[in-house]
Amino acid sequence: MIFINKELCKACYICIEFCPKKVFTISKELNKKGVYPSEVDDESRCTYCKICELMCPDQAITVVKK
């Protein structure tokens, strides 16, 4: 499972660029801070490498292998 804490997300989109499997996309809904957070597009592509957990500067992504 991939969890995104939308309220911590600052919409830098590092996750979108650096996920090797292109799992993330931009949400269509604003968060409370007024930015479009990242969201999971297709988890089935995820290899659970967890690079997104380390590279999200705002501790917004948590990955748990099913």
Partner 1 sequence: MEHFALKYLRKDRLPHIFCPGCGIGIIINCTCKAMDELNLDLDKVVLTSGIGCSSRIPGYFYLDSLHTTHGRALAFATGIKVANPELTVICFTGDGDTGAIGGNHFIHACRRNIDITVICVNNYIYGMTGGQVSPTTPEEKVATTAPYGNIENPLDLCKLAEAAGASYVARWTTAHPFQLVRSIKKGINKKGFAFIEVVSQCYTYFGRLNKFKNNIELLKYIKENSININKAKNMSEEELKGKIIVGEFVDREKSEFSEEIHKLIDKHKIVK
Task: Tell me if 23 contacts partner 1 by CB under 8 A.
Answer: no
User: How buried is 62 (Cβ within 10 angstroms: 0-12 exposed, 13-18 middle, 19+ buried)?
Assistant: middle
Distance in Å from the first CA to the final CA of the chain: 6
- For the bound state, the minimum distance from the C-beta of residue 55 to partner 1, rounded and expressed in Å, comes to 6
**Using CB under 8 A, which of the segments 7-15, 21-29, 39-47 binds partner 1?**
7-15
Task: Tell me if 61 contacts partner 1 by CB under 8 A.
Answer: yes
Q: Report residue 51 as tokens.
A: 């690079």
**Can you tell me the distance from the alpha carbon of 11 to that of 6, in angstroms, rounded to the nearest whole number?**
9
**Footprint of partner 1 (CB under 8 A):** 1, 3, 5, 7-8, 10-14, 17-18, 33, 35, 51, 53-62, 64
